[in-house]
Amino acid sequence: MRCRWTELAVWACMSCGLRLAVLAAPAAAERGPVLALTEENDWFTGTDRHYTQGARVVYLGAESSQPHGLKDFAALVVRVDTWRWGVEIGQTIFTPENLRAKFPQPYDRPYAGWLFAGPALQRRGATPGIGVPVLETVQLQTGVVGPAALAKEEQNAAHFMGGFGKAAGWRNQLLNELGYALKYQRTWRWAPDGLRDWSAELLPHTGASLGNVDTSARLGATLRAGWRLPDDFGVQIIDALGLADGGHATAGSNRPFGGYLFVRAEGRAVGYNTFLDGSLVRESPQVDRRPFVGEIQGGVVLVFARLDLAFTLIYRSAEFYGQNCEDAFGSMALNLRL
């Protein structure tokens, strides 16, 4: 998948957002609304196959105090200080490796699109006792898989604008089917004592997804190091179980600039993936899915007073038997604190 209109929109927002970056950072007690834009494409790694493109817009509202009726229940697992609600809308596109074949390819990934939207809820607090910072995210994604997801039109338009040929086999894509995925992720943040401007943090995470689009369990960790790390839990790609929480510019510093490098590793046990297993309700193209998948991410994040810019490279192990090589793609993200 090549350059497309959403990338132009992301970069336009980045240009406008940079003007906001020079404004003063919000006070430590205030966490206002966050607008997050993400564009993912395998063009960044010079390929054009499998998970080939994704775009997502997320809005998270301002933080509020934990509702009184939930405090006692929440305290059983985490001392919750604040919570925030949000909404998201996005699209992801999947193709086989051979884009020239017009007929179904039984040993290659099916064509498919996923157009989704849904609510999200985040809770932020600390573990009882030692007080390790914790972020919990719950998302309910609902949408459609199939021609109604407009993946064919989106990819063909992008290839036309980029001067590349159209994929020949979209007539074989998965048919229309309503889809859903209920996602949950918990992330802890641990930082050694005594580190100031230059610092490092370890962020383990775990979670699960349940639905006819994705049923899986995941476990991983992020290591990040840099200059004035932000008071957040790191950037997230579209396929992640969590959402970036849009923390303050630089924890413990009045100067609104920071930056860091990070590396993340994740393993997942996959029970069902409609983009590999095919439809639950009708006969459809499918491949022999692998039950375990590994992923490594690495990237850089620039943090301003009201703006984060992030770029991530993702390497994912083979997801089905017969897949010739691992997949790779890039992710650009802009998080704007409103």
- Ordered structural domains, the chain, with CATH: 5-337 (2.40.128.140)
User: Which amino acid belongs to residue 303?
Assistant: V
DSSP helix/strand/coil, 45: helix
Please give the Cα distance from 80 to 70 (Å, whole number).
9
pLDDT at 7 over 50: no
User: Which amino acid belongs to residue 11?
Assistant: W
Lowest-confidence pick of 2-16, 28-42, 100-114: 2-16
Sequence-separated (6 or more) residues with CB below 8 Å from residue 195: none
Q: Residue 250: what pLDDT?
A: 52
| Average pLDDT of the residues in 157-178 | 84
Please give the Cα distance from 262 to 318 (Å, whole number).
23
Q: Residue 256: what pLDDT?
A: 72
Q: Residue 255: what pLDDT?
A: 57
Lowest-confidence pick of 8-22, 169-183, 186-200, 296-310: 8-22
At 196, the pLDDT band (50, 70, 90 cuts) reads: confident
Please give the Cα distance from 238 to 115 (Å, whole number).
12
Q: Residue 41: what pLDDT?
A: 94
Name the nearest CA neighbour of 145 among 177, 110, 116, 173. 177
At 213, the pLDDT band (50, 70, 90 cuts) reads: very high
Query: Who wins on pLDDT, 100 or 268?
Result: 268
pLDDT at 21 over 60: no
- The four Cα atoms 206, 209, 215, 219 give a dihedral, to 10 degrees, of -10
Cβ burial of 236 (10 Å; 0-12, 13-18, 19+) is buried
What tokens does 333 get?
């993200």
What tokens does 89 get?
């809308």
At 11, the pLDDT band (50, 70, 90 cuts) reads: very low
What tokens does 7 get?
């990338």
321-330 per-position pLDDT tens digit: 999 889 999 9
Name the nearest CA neighbour of 97 among 278, 329, 335, 327. 327
- The four Cα atoms 217, 54, 115, 95 give a dihedral, to 10 degrees, of -90
DSSP helix/strand/coil, 211: coil
pLDDT at 36 over 90: yes
130-147 per-position pLDDT tens digit: 889 999 999 999 999 999
pTM: 0.86
- Residues forming beta bridges with residue 270, ordered by sequence position: 216
Q: Is the Cα dihedral 211, 213, 214, 215 positive or negative?
A: positive
Q: Give yes or no for a contact between 300 and 310, defined as CB atoms under 8 angstroms apart.
A: yes
Place of tokens 């020079």: 22
Please give the Cα distance from 66 to 265 (Å, whole number).
31
Average pLDDT, the chain: 85
At 26, the pLDDT band (50, 70, 90 cuts) reads: very low
Strand positions, DSSP E, the chain: 34-41, 50-60, 64-65, 79-95, 112-126, 133-145, 177-188, 198-210, 214-227, 257-273, 292-304, 307-316, 327-337
257-276 per-position pLDDT tens digit: 899 999 999 999 999 999 99
Q: What percentage of the chain reaches a pLDDT higher than 90?
A: 62
Q: Residue 78: what pLDDT?
A: 59
